[in-house]
């Protein structure tokens, strides 16, 4: 009799722990995408090349973290890509729990940004 009352609560708690682990993993992945994309952009030779290289690198990292539900958004701002300048990457992702019972209705937005300095002593 007591099991009928306690079992749903225990199941919900177990799925909530799995959900929290997924949010943590997604946050780490989004941070890595932003960091790597900004770094790839800072190493490029032109602003258009910076956006292209940053986007490609960000997609590679995202697939490694299995951020593949189609909601990944990566925005790269290389500025003028001058020596000593900054390249900023902003990543957004919406995490869903469609495969977890009791949590299939939950959507968690995750966001990260990273600014990378362009090496002031690099050659062009």
Distance CA(17)–CA(29), nearest Å, equals 18
The whole-angstrom distance between residue 25's C-alpha and the CA centroid of its chain comes to 9
Measured N-to-C along each axis, helices 2-42 and 47-64 cross at an angle, to the nearest 10 degrees, of 150
Query: Please, which pLDDT band fits residue 52 given cuts at 50, 70 and 90?
Result: very high
The string of pLDDT tens digits covering residues 29-48 is 999 999 999 999 999 999 99
pLDDT tens, position by position, 7-30: 888 888 887 888 888 899 999 999
pLDDT over threshold 70, residue 4: yes
Q: Is 102 left (phi over 0), alpha (psi -120 to 50) or beta?
A: left
CA nearest neighbour of 81 among 56, 34, 118, 40: 118
Q: Could you tell me the two tokens for 94?
A: 């919406």
Global confidence as pTM: 0.86
């Amino acid at each position: 009799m007591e099991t009928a009352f306690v079992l749903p609560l225990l199941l919900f708690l177990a799925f909530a722990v799995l959900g929290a682990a997924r949010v943590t993993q997604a946050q780490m992945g989004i941070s890595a995408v932003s960091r790597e994309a900004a770094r790839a952009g800072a190493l490029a030779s032109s602003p258009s090349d910076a956006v292209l290289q940053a986007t490609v690198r960000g997609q590679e990292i995202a697939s490694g973290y299995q951020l593949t539900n189609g909601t990944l958004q990566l925005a790269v701002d290389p500025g003028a890509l001058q020596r000593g300048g900054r390249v900023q990457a902003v990543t957004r992702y919406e995490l869903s729990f469609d495969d977890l019972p009791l949590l299939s209705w939950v959507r968690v937005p995750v966001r990260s940004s990273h600014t990378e300095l362009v090496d002031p002593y690099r050659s062009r």
